[in-house]
């Protein structure tokens, strides 16, 4: 189920999906996560928007990356992922967007349920 979520203090919802999704998954505020991702980018000598940079933030916080099988690359959606993963915290990545999933719900500034995920991060509890 889609649950509107936008912790951006200014209400922006373009260009900061990584920060918004990580804020939800890490239970931290937008400002803290922004600084954490920028600091990781500085440490990695890479841009904060780099998949490797925010991926390192997730690794540092106990998440592990998994690839979504390519059995139906154009028909498996965020909604499908949520139905198949009713328990736990996940970060889904599409080619252009990042979404927080918690206990079968997807949290985003807009309804991204029809997006096609490529890989995901999961935190084992």
SS in 3 state form for 43-103? HHCCCCCCHHHHHHHHHHCCEEEEECCCCCCCCCCHHHHHHHCCCCEEEEECCCCEEEEEC
What is the widest separation between alpha-carbon atoms in the chain? 40
Handedness of CA 55, 59, 60, 63 (dihedral sign): positive
Q: What percent of the chain has pLDDT over 90?
A: 87
| Alpha-carbon gap, residue 54 to 19, rounded angstroms | 9
How many independent structural domains does the chain possess? 1
Token digits of residue 81: 């992922």
Structural domain that includes position 68:
2-123
pLDDT tens-digit map of 56-114: 999 999 999 999 988 776 789 999 999 999 999 999 999 899 999 999 999 999 999 99
């Amino acid at each position: 189920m889609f649950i509107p979520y936008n912790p951006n203090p200014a209400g922006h919802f373009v260009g900061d999906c990584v920060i918004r999704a990580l804020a939800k998954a890490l239970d931290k505020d937008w400002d803290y996560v922004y600084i954490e991702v920028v600091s990781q980018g500085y440490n990695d000598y890479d841009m904060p928007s780099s998949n490797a940079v925010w991926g390192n933030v997730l690794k540092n916080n106990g998440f592990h990356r998994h690839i979504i099988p390519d059995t139906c690359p154009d028909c498996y959606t965020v909604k499908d992922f949520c139905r198949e993963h009713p328990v736990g915290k996940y970060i889904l990545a599409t080619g252009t967007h990042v979404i927080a999933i918690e206990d079968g719900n997807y949290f985003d500034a807009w309804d991204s349920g029809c997006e096609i995920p490529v890989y995901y991060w999961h935190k084992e509890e």
